[in-house]
Amino acid sequence: MRAEVISIGTEILLGEIVDTNAAYIASRLPQFGIDMLYTSQVGDNPDRLHEVFERAWNRSDIIFATGGLGPTEDDLTRETIASVLQEDLYQDEDQANALRTLFEARGGYMPERNLKQAQLIKSARAIENPRGTAPGWWVERENKIIVVMPGPPPEMIRMWENEVAPELEKQASSILVSRTLKTSGIGEGTLDEMITPLLHSTNPSIGVYARADGVHVRISAKGNSRESALDLIRPVETEARNILGTAIWGEDEESLSGAVGRMLIEQGLSLALMESATGGALASSFTDIDGSSEYFRGSLVTYATDTKISMGVDSDTIAKHGVISENTAKEMAVRAREVLGASLGIGITGIAGGNEVEEQPPGTMHIALSDDSGFLEYSHSRYYQGREAAKKRAVLTALTMLRQYLINKQ
């Protein structure tokens, strides 16, 4: 099937928001045997919307559109599709009642304008949206499909995963399934050599990719069903796991912090942090995960030097070695563990950006790990492509160090 993605909203054209929806959809289409051939971005203008949808309808088998489903006058996606297909809009009473119930449950009054979101055409059915007020549309006519989803990514992703993807799977003649093994501590070239015997396979096929959190191995197979594709993947995945061993830290959508958190739970350990230059970024990587309270005690963000001292970091250490130093990072790790009552503590101090400090360039990070036996591990990161990049690299360095500690402790 030939697919096209249309992203709707003037704010996209103005650069006020980044269109992540199109990338998300494009990355999911191959598994259903759908070829994405075109993408378009269009503002909230009726003439240009009509032009884009009409062109897409004439050249594509399936159209995915995001945005323009709100209740305001410039939300024109429904009207545009009705115009292109020459069908009349009507108010669907089931959808109207669902909207009223939603507003009542939220304790608010529903403006009459919101009834616009209950409109359908004869060729369309509503797609449920429990995260917002705008139902999606699934349109089928003349052996073509239009799928319309909300613009806000959380609403779009939820609708895709729970409603759209299962429907596409039913209609697909073949399914492409992928498994991704995520590794650290091995370079891309070295890993490629290690799994050379597996690389000649065609179904499943294997690809090696360098990513920010390590090197990923993706194993992909086509089958008549998801299960038949997985049957092809499993023996190859087992062989890859045997070759790569503990270098594999996670799989598929798992994050490094999620993998480390799982290991902390398995070993019955808890973690506390004292962060300076990363400003709580390492803590955020853990609290993004459901259930992290099982092992994560908390984080002290001691950005200023006197704040570090108030938390028990020795002022003499700072005076002798500098606030951006291995020794200070180690004391921060110890005090984080002691103050917050954790099995393990991590301390991070450094300079994320700006000018050189204490004769150290921007991007320098000192990272230490402490346990309750007095063990101290140290690592450092020196990477500068801007403040955010330096902080992300420090977080990955800290997580990699912690993971290696937990592997050694097993």
pLDDT at 328: 95
| Residue 374 vs residues 130, 192, 271: alpha-carbon distances, Å | 50, 39, 15
CATH class assigned to 256-409: alpha beta
pLDDT in tens, the chain (410 residues): 899 999 999 999 999 999 999 999 999 998 898 999 999 999 999 999 999 999 999 999 999 999 999 998 899 999 999 999 999 999 989 988 888 888 888 877 888 888 889 899 999 999 998 888 889 999 999 999 999 999 999 999 999 999 999 999 888 888 889 999 999 989 999 999 999 999 988 899 999 999 989 999 999 999 988 899 999 999 999 999 999 999 999 999 899 999 999 999 999 999 999 999 999 999 999 999 999 999 999 999 999 999 999 999 999 999 999 999 999 999 999 999 999 999 999 999 998 877 777 778 888 899 999 998 878 888 777 766 788 888 998 999 999 999 999 999 88
Task: State the pLDDT at residue 44.
Answer: 94
Give the closest residue to 45 by CA, choosing from 12, 18, 16.
12
Q: Are 140 and 192 a contacting pair, CB within 8 Å?
A: no
- Which of the listed CATH numbers 3.90.1150.10, 3.90.870.10, 3.40.109.10, 3.40.980.10 matches domain 2-171? 3.40.980.10
Cis peptide before 361 (omega within 30 of 0): no
Which helix (H) or strand (E) segment is 8 a member of? strand 2-8
Distance CA(180)–CA(216), nearest Å, equals: 6
Q: What is the pLDDT of residue 76?
A: 95
| Beta-carbon-side half-sphere exposure of residue 92 (alpha carbons within 13 Å) | 18
Cα–Cα distance between 167 and 397 in angstroms, integer? 41
pLDDT of residue 383: 67
Closest CA to 75 of 61, 94, 63, 89: 89
Delimit the domains of the chain by residue range.
2-171, 175-251, 256-409
| Domain 175-251 bears CATH identifier 3.30.70.2860 | yes
C-alpha 398/C-alpha 308 separation (Å) is 19
How far is CA 248 from each of CA 140, 303, 312, 368, 402, rounded to the nearest angstrom?
44, 34, 37, 23, 15
